[in-house]
Amino acid sequence: MWILLGFTALFQILPSLAIAHVASRLSLPRASLFGVAAFVYGVALFMGRMRSRINDVPRSPILVALVDEPYFIHWCASFFTTLVSLFVMVLSPIVDLARGAPVAFPLDGITAAYLAGLAISFYGVVIRRRAFVVRRVTVAIENLDDAFDGYRIAHLSDLHIGALTPKSLASRWVRAANALAPDLAVVTGDLVTSGTAFYGDIVETVASLRATDGAVVSMGNHDYFGADDGEPLVSLLREAGVRVLRNEGDLLKRGDKSVYLAAIDDTWTRKNDLPAALENRPDGTPTILLSHDPDEFRAAAKRGVDLVLSGHTHGGQVAVPFFGREWNLSRLSHHHHIGIYRRGKSTLYVHPGLGTTGPPIRIGVAPAVVEITLRKA
């Protein structure tokens, strides 16, 4: 936390200069004080905002809209400003020298970077993370029986329900999933942001999913942020009629034909056990594995799993628009970061997630409700 606070303080320097510059341009009295106030605002509110992400508790929607979201807009804009301004400060003297003009500190360029950062961050925090899409993906499975050809799965992941991602927003995702009239609904982990205060909202949301074969959940790392054993969330979900699979599997049946559906537990807390999850799989049965962490794909492919559904990465939450698959932040830490991957006869789909963690922003990576359709290869 203190390291993050130190970086935050560094990120506030150039935006504070930009704000003071804007105040000066507007002929406001004591323009420099606006910059000082912006610096204090950016640093002083950081610890409270981050602690709320570590132990998420109910918070007034008015405070979220008037305090939390504006702060994160400024924080993200400050980060953007600092990165862009580094290039500005390198290029500006070169341009000045080429024009034969005196070398000057590029305050106008830094100010333009901050104003652009505010606009981009406002879009990412207020608009993009709320405006989800419905995405359709078709997966071919070689040994799929005709009875399951066209079987449709509504795939949700990384809900992160909490103060910044309220039940009202999550209910919109559920309505979109239910409108697909799927055969199966799955949630691949991270129902929780942190803590245990929103378990009631989470259970009510997930239990509202409607599908012919019901709703199935696998556990993610955030589902243990506040409860090491996952309780009472798991029990509450099961009492509400939601199947929670933890290193185990079950058969989906159509007459005498079947598909084996399994899920592994969280990898971060080392609760995952892939052999146990596949232990009761009948020989030759097509297999779908729910694994919050996509890095388990290699091991699953070696064991002949046909389809792995994952989440966890959020597609980085921030990516280059229109090039999100190639250029996103999750590439820095994950080999499989978003979308479809194949390994032999096995397929992995990495969900972009619906909620957010850390700064509540999405740019270039739309939250999505995904319909997976199985086809016989």
Domain harbouring 191, CATH code: 3.60.21.10
Same domain, 34 and 124: yes
Same domain, 331 and 345: yes
Query: Is 132 strand, coil or helix?
Result: coil
Same domain, 191 and 284: yes
Same domain, 285 and 332: yes
Which of 128, 151, 176 represents a domain boundary (last residue)? Answer: 128
331 close to 316: Cβ distance less than 8 angstroms: yes
Distance set, CA 364 to CA 119, 174, 184 (Å): 14, 23, 28
Query: Domain range for residue 282?
Result: 133-376
Which of 128, 161, 180 represents a domain boundary (last residue)? Answer: 128
Residue 108 is classified by DSSP as: H
Distance set, CA 107 to CA 11, 80, 177, 268 (Å): 16, 15, 49, 45
Please give the sequence-ordered ranges of beta strands (E in DSSP) within 142-204, or none if there are none: 152-156, 184-188
Same domain, 112 and 193: no
Q: What is the count of structural domains for the chain? A: 2
Same domain, 120 and 179: no
Same domain, 281 and 321: yes
Query: Is 365 strand, coil or helix?
Result: coil
Which of 97, 128, 159 represents a domain boundary (last residue)? Answer: 128
Please list the alpha-helical segments (H only) found in the chain. 2-25, 31-44, 46-54, 61-63, 69-99, 107-122, 167-179, 199-207, 233-239, 274-278, 297-302
Same domain, 178 and 238: yes
Same domain, 210 and 310: yes
Same domain, 148 and 62: no
- Would you write out the chain's pLDDT as a tens digit for each of its 377 residues? 889 999 999 999 999 999 999 999 999 999 999 999 999 999 999 998 888 888 899 999 999 999 999 999 999 999 999 999 999 999 999 988 898 888 889 999 999 999 999 999 999 999 999 999 999 999 999 999 999 999 999 999 999 999 999 999 999 999 999 999 999 999 999 999 999 999 999 999 999 999 999 999 999 999 999 888 899 999 999 999 999 999 999 999 999 999 999 999 999 999 999 999 999 999 999 999 999 999 999 999 999 999 999 999 999 999 999 888 889 999 888 899 999 999 999 999 999 999 999 899 999 999 999 999 999 98
Same domain, 26 and 139: no
Burial class from Cβ neighbours inside 10 Å (0-12, 13-18, 19+) for residue 373 reads middle
Same domain, 79 and 219: no
